Structure 1
Amino acid sequence: MNKDPQGKPIALLAYASAVFLYVHLMLFIAVLGVAILLNFNKNQPFAAFHHRQMLGIACIAFLITAFGSILPSGWIAFVLISLIFLMAILGFADAYKNQTTPLPYIGEQFQKWFTFIK
């Protein structure tokens, strides 16, 4: 039986914040922020990896929300946000299975961009 890595509950909390993205943006920011603060200076690479992934998802979701009204059809923004939500579910599943697999297409970039999360 695999022993859970340090910080697994905190990593799962970060992905759970994606659920709140559909509820209210401020609640989403609060839950993700709490997850990042709980891992601050704890040297838990597993949790830090998943926080970087979720912060990247959050940034993309904010961009889609901010510029979604520019798109001629509202359904395009809905589809993009749904894809972002699906990525959050993939990340949650990886964290639950004790894996550190980057998200498809953009996960490696998130690891490079958000190196300040340790």
Structure 2
Amino acid sequence: MNQNTIEEGKTMSIVAYLTIIGSIIALIINNDKKNPFVAFHVRQGLGLCLTYMILGYFIGNFNSWNVSIGFWIGFGVLFFYGIIGAITGKMNEVPLLGSLYKKLFKNLGN
């Protein structure tokens, strides 16, 4: 992948990490251009958003600030890691879950 492809896809790659709506918007916009850099970050961002929502439902049942704050900080770090990767033009998988997202959403955005 060349530097021009990365530069063209940086904005949509960042948008992919901004809520589930951002992931869907980036996916739809990338359908025409088929940028592999954007597709990678859409998979990672969508996976993080869906995992956050699913786990958040169960974490909310604990009714404990300690558990909730730990959950928010953990996912905040993962989202921040993904956004920094998109800004710097790198295709680093999100720690712990990135390879799973890559397998689950392998056909997404191609």
TM-score, structure 2 normalization? 0.83
The 1-side partners of 2:51 and 2:70 are apart by 13
Q: CA deviation at 1:4?
A: 5.8
Q: CA deviation at 1:8?
A: 1.6
Match of 1:12 in 2: 14
Match of 1:80 in 2: 71
Alignment of 1:3-42 (within 5 A): 3=4, 5=6, 6-15=8-17, 17=18, 28-42=19-33
Query: Which amino acid counterpart does residue 12 of structure 1 have in structure 2?
Result: I
Match of 2:46 in 1: 55
Identity %: 24
TM-score, structure 1 normalization? 0.78
The 1-side partners of 2:35 and 2:5 are apart by 12
The 2-side partners of 1:36 and 1:62 are apart by 19
Q: CA deviation at 1:73?
A: 2.2
Q: What is the RMSD computed on CA atoms of the aligned residues?
A: 1.8
The 2-side partners of 1:14 and 1:77 are apart by 24
Q: CA deviation at 1:72?
A: 5.3
Q: Which runs of 4+ in 1 moved over 3 A?
A: none
Where structure 1 has 5 or more consecutive residues not aligned to the other structure, the ranges are 18-27
Q: Secondary structure at the match of 1:32?
A: helix
Where structure 2 has 5 or more consecutive residues not aligned to the other structure, the ranges are none
Higher helix share: 2
